[in-house]
Structure 1
Amino acid sequence: MSRVLVAGIGNIFLGDDGFGVEVVNRLDPAALPATVDVVDYGIRGVHLAYELLDGRHHTLIMVDAMPVDGPPGTLAVVEVDVDGPGDEGPMPVNGHGMHPQAVLDLLRGLGGEVRRVLVVGCAPAAIDELMGLTAPVAAVVEDAVRLVTELACQVAADLAVPGTGQADTECADA
């Protein structure tokens, strides 16, 4: 239970909603500790919930477009209350369009848990039927890649237990 999962969330057919997918696809696995898994879940929130059921991951870092204070392209890191209910109450299961809280609600409903959830979010300019990110969101993708890499490295280092022979938790210089 000392692993970290970085999950890209979003729909690439809805403009800036594809932000999370774009960021995780640009992450360099060689720059991350061996205890960090990176997966593009896109719109497959049910798969993400089932991935977390086995209990291997202590921390989930979701990367997604989300409302944050500031203009489009503003980045934010938010820690989610994993014990609290979703703001919208119980959500119906929709495997192709689950928002992050719905994924956590489904995970809890299935009897699973994750101890810590962080969301690296970006304020979208447009979530419309269009391919590709808008200019303000595209302009911060590399900043988001650096932010996610640094965050994943820090979380992995915090979870490392000295003297346990745990796999590499050091980050490569990016």
Structure 2
Amino acid sequence: MRFKGKVAIVTGSAGAGIGQACARSFAKEGAGVVIADPNSKRTFQVAEAIKKDYGVETLGVVCDASNKEQVEEMVKKTVEKFGRVDILVNNAGRELLAQCVDMTDEQWNVVIGVCLYGTFFCTRAVLPYMIKQNYGRLVHISSVAGFVGMDDGESHYCAAKAAIMGFSRAVAAETAKYNITS
């Protein structure tokens, strides 16, 4: 029970992928878990399933990571329920295939919004609590796409994932003195 007494927020965790796997791993180790996802039906189903499967407290919050107000409300609800936030997994992501030459501003903004702005908004929202506790763990899910160009139509995704890597290093340097790792 490595995470007993800890609280983990996992964005993009109502699907069947990395986010839900992370949430289940934290729950298995005793952490309270926040399932944050824009899919309202699945968000609450996954939160309830994890609570039932692992006997931990959970909270489902409908949250689009690219929406600053929804992110702030999600963190507020987390602190109201659990009294703290120890771990943030920035897993929310979005892909919309479009060749750069044909890509619309909206397609660019959607992917950058969820992947990059979402990582920033969520991190910024939890940091005051982590600094006050003198403890925090930030996990930013990036991709090999940030190192090397990937499939046709993913230039916006590659740009966002590369930026997340730099962001993670910078935040780690800024917050190390507060026992926060990134």
Normalising by structure 1, what TM-score? 0.38
> If each structure's helix is expressed as a fraction of its own residues, which one has the higher value?
2
> If each structure's strand is expressed as a fraction of its own residues, which one has the higher value?
1
Say which structure, 1 or 2, has more relative contact order (CA 8 Å, 6+ apart).
1
